[in-house]
Amino acid sequence: PLWSDPRQNPCAQEPGGWELIFWPEDGKCYRLFRQGPCPQSMELVPGHGPGAPPQCRCPPGTAQSPRDAICYRLFEQGPCRNSEYFAPVLREAKNGHADTSRWGACLKVEECGAGKAWWGRDEQCYPTGTKGPCPQGLLLVSHHGLGLCHCDNNTLSAQYSAETRTCHEHYTRGPCAKGQLFLPTSDGPICACTHELPNYNPLDGRCYPLGTTGPCMPGHKFVAKNKTGGGEEGTCICREGYYLWEDGACYPPFTRGPCPPGNIFQLSFNEDDRKLECSPLPCPVGHLYFPGGKGCHKVGTQGPCPKGQGVIPSTEEPLSYLGVCACLTYTNDNRSVFKVARGVRPTEKGKCPESRQLEEVEEEEKGCKGRWTVLWEDGTCQKLYTRGPCPVGQWIVPDRSRGRSRKARGKWASGKCEQRPAITTRQTTAEPPFYRERRI
């Protein structure tokens, strides 16, 4: 690290010096990421860049309140009143650059209705008593409408495991061994599996949580179905929006799916027939596809979206090549030196909150990579002298009436369909004019 250089940090010569840093105000050495000479609730961190002095900042997961300058944990009540929570905000310095200190503000907890609580990290409502957005072993509880992850033997005794001292939903695996479920009983929850449960899989004699992958192939989910003679048992079906492929797994369209690199798993309908196939990616790197003739658009730009919204992938797991519109907010992230764009759902009226307006980002001039490719009218890139989207007997040629691209010298900007030359007996395939000229 930079602070291990004795020329910039005299404390680096001390024993364990890689953990120490020089504080110029009193000339002493202090351990990094501890309070040291900093005010209450803050920690000492290295400065930004070579030679920069150390500074005091709020620890990760906390932010400073302008009311008392103390660091509080984010997305909890902290210094706020009931029905409020402490959330991060981004301040702009006078020179136009983002303030490196972490600041927070009190925001109102949204009303979620009975049996639900507001989760500030993603601004959504989740049912209480479930795992929701909490880590394994904790369940969501409500504190004045604000969701908190919690576990104890008093408020959650029916879902509390005395052996592991953790809390879990019933009919999930919880702390149990594979093939068993966390089941409620009058004497407290136990780990067990019986064939009377709809979670029972007759193929291996084990129980699995419904709605999960369970014993199924990728892309499936384990659900209950009626069995002969009454009762229910588990079976595997494709997840919503997924389609069964030849390898027995289910994949969502507009992802790579089972296709080789550089291809997209596409779904198309021809009258009453459904067709699944692997086809070349329609968009260059960093762009997403919008069906219906809307073409390809760069991630983070407005593209075909309403004002104030931007282009993001429809799903991230698995990564989708299909673009959707969402409100974008640009925030600082510890994992990147650049501002990170986050997608936020629009309001019920289809508008973005004022604090979440999309920053003005100019989209680069549209163009296609590759010497023999041109931009088509639907925004996709097509290869010259192939049929592409042209009718039978025609192929793609440069549209000289629109000139050449400004970004790629000598390259045609767009293409059009033209009658393909007749095929002779000496030439089995029609060759591009430039190729024949080079051979001569």
pLDDT (tens digit, 9 = 90+) per residue, 205-257? 999 999 999 999 999 999 998 887 778 889 999 999 999 999 999 999 999 99
20-44 as b/e: b if 16+ CB within 10 A: bbbbeeeeebbebeeebebeebbbb
Q: Does pLDDT of 285 surpass 60? A: yes
Percentage, residues of the chain above pLDDT 70: 78
Lowest mean pLDDT among 44-48, 73-77, 171-175, 374-378: 374-378
Residue 431 placed within a domain? no
Contact of 405 with 414, CB cutoff 8 Å: no
DSSP-derived secondary structure letter, 35: -
CA atoms within 13 A on the CB side of 85: 23
Cα–Cα dist 209/429, whole Å? 58
Percentage, residues of the chain above pLDDT 90: 45
Q: Does pLDDT of 186 surpass 60? A: yes
Rounded to two decimals, the pTM is 0.62
Domain that holds residue 113: 109-192
pLDDT bin (cut points 50, 70, 90) of residue 73 is: very high
Would you state the structure tokens that stand for residue 320, as one six-digit string?
């989708």
pLDDT bin (cut points 50, 70, 90) of residue 28 is: very high
The dihedral over CA atoms of 342, 343, 347, 351, expressed in degrees to the nearest 10, equals 90
Based on the domain organization, do 249 and 236 belong to the same domain?
no
Based on the domain organization, do 47 and 18 belong to the same domain?
yes
Residue 109, strand partner residues: none
Residue 372 placed within a domain? no
CB atoms within 10 A of CB 385: 19
Residue 397 placed within a domain? no
Based on the domain organization, do 272 and 222 belong to the same domain?
no
Residue 253 placed within a domain? yes
Based on the domain organization, do 223 and 255 belong to the same domain?
no
Based on the domain organization, do 251 and 303 belong to the same domain?
no
Q: Which pLDDT value is given to residue 316?
A: 75
Contact of 187 with 180, CB cutoff 8 Å: no
Q: Does pLDDT of 399 surpass 80? A: no
Based on the domain organization, do 251 and 293 belong to the same domain?
no
> In the chain, how many domains are there?
5
CA atoms within 13 A on the CB side of 153: 7
Based on the domain organization, do 236 and 258 belong to the same domain?
no
First to last CA, the chain: 62
Would you state the structure tokens that stand for residue 335, as one six-digit string?
């994992």
